[in-house]
Amino acid sequence: MDTFERLKIVTAGAGVVLVMFVLHGIADRVFPETWVARPGYKVADVSEQAVDLVSLQRSWPAGLRQEGGRANVRSYMDNIEKVSLPRSAEAPPALAAPAPPVDLGTLLASADAQKGGQTAQVCTSCHTFEQGGPDRMGPNLWGVVGRNVAARKGFTYSSAFAAQTGAWTYERLDRWLTNPAKAVPGTKMAFAGLRKPEDRANVLAYLHTLTASPVPFPKPEKTKITGASPQHSGKETPPSASG
């Protein structure tokens, strides 16, 4: 690169810097900076003038050029723990208490088997539901409620599943549908689960129909009584003086 090329590069760079300064000066004249009369935040028990952080942020870093700008920022940060933020006079709305979980028996009592069949369509890539249907990546699910876990003849289960004992109850199926990987660690089933209890109840209601002898639903739990009535002491109350 010869001297003439270098001179052109330096000249071009200097021209860009000059244009930037000119545009900055024009912008300052056309859009002058204005400052609010009262600071946005006031530091209690501090003699230094509080800084208006809102205006300073909008004009950063040019705002530090105003008189006392840097000193105000340092003073504010030194006393940040004493800042009292403005609060609304109205109390914030109270957060509603979370609804208590509904037991499985209550959910199943109002479950919709038809909707459950629609939700269970996501399982058809691995399972069949009809009586006598073939196994796929997962076993056929006809009559699964009440059937022993890993008991489908002719289907090869994973070692994690083969180690399971007991039968498929509604409660066990509900835990399985919530999170298969957590219910049976090491399972090969790649399904994230159904997060909504209502969706799981609908699917369980659908599985309830896939048998000639449906397994009864668990009974809904009785409403728990929060306030206990005073117990009778066993002593007779003496009659009043008035008779």
Residues 104-130 have pLDDT tens digits of 999 999 999 999 999 999 999 899 999
Residue whose token pair is 């969706």 = 199
Q: Which of 207, 190, 77 is nearest to 137 (CA)?
A: 190
> Would the pLDDT of 9 be above 80?
yes
Mean pLDDT of 79-106: 67
Using alpha carbons, list the distances in angstroms from residue 160 to 140, 144, 176, 182, 223. Answer: 19, 18, 14, 12, 38
> Would the pLDDT of 13 be above 70?
yes
Question: What integer pLDDT is reported at residue 100 of this predicted model?
Answer: 73
- Report the alpha-carbon distance of residue 188 to residue 171 in Å, rounded: 21
Question: What integer pLDDT is reported at residue 167 of this predicted model?
Answer: 94
Let me know: does 111 contact 205? Beta carbons within 8 Å: yes
Token readout for 73 is 């920022």
- Report the alpha-carbon distance of residue 201 to residue 178 in Å, rounded: 11
H-helix segments, the chain: 3-30, 53-58, 69-78, 104-109, 113-119, 159-162, 170-178, 180-183, 197-208
- Report the alpha-carbon distance of residue 190 to residue 78 in Å, rounded: 55
Which of 73-77, 103-107, 141-145, 228-232 shows the lowest per-residue confidence on average (mean pLDDT)? 228-232
Token readout for 72 is 């105000």
> Would the pLDDT of 226 be above 60?
no
- Report the alpha-carbon distance of residue 7 to residue 12 in Å, rounded: 9
* 232 HSE (CA, 13 A, CB side): 4
Q: Is the pTM of this model over 0.85?
A: no
Domains of the chain listed by start with CATH number = 7-82 (no CATH), 104-208 (1.10.760.10)
Widest pairwise Cα distance in the chain: 126
Token readout for 226 is 């929060």
Query: What's the Rg (C-alpha) of the chain?
Result: 37
> Would the pLDDT of 61 be above 90?
no
> Would the pLDDT of 214 be above 90?
yes
> Would the pLDDT of 131 be above 80?
yes
- Report the alpha-carbon distance of residue 127 to residue 141 in Å, rounded: 7
Average pLDDT taken over every residue of the chain: 77
Tens of pLDDT, residue by residue over 191-208, are 889 999 999 999 999 999
Pick the more confident residue, 32 or 111: 111
Tens of pLDDT, residue by residue over 140-188, are 999 999 999 988 989 999 999 899 999 999 999 999 999 999 999 988 8
> Would the pLDDT of 80 be above 90?
no
> Would the pLDDT of 64 be above 60?
no
Pick the more confident residue, 47 or 129: 129
Q: Is 116 exposed, middle or buried (0-12, 13-18, 19+ CB in 10 A)?
A: buried
% of the chain surpassing 90 pLDDT:
39
Please, which pLDDT band fits residue 229 given cuts at 50, 70 and 90?
very low
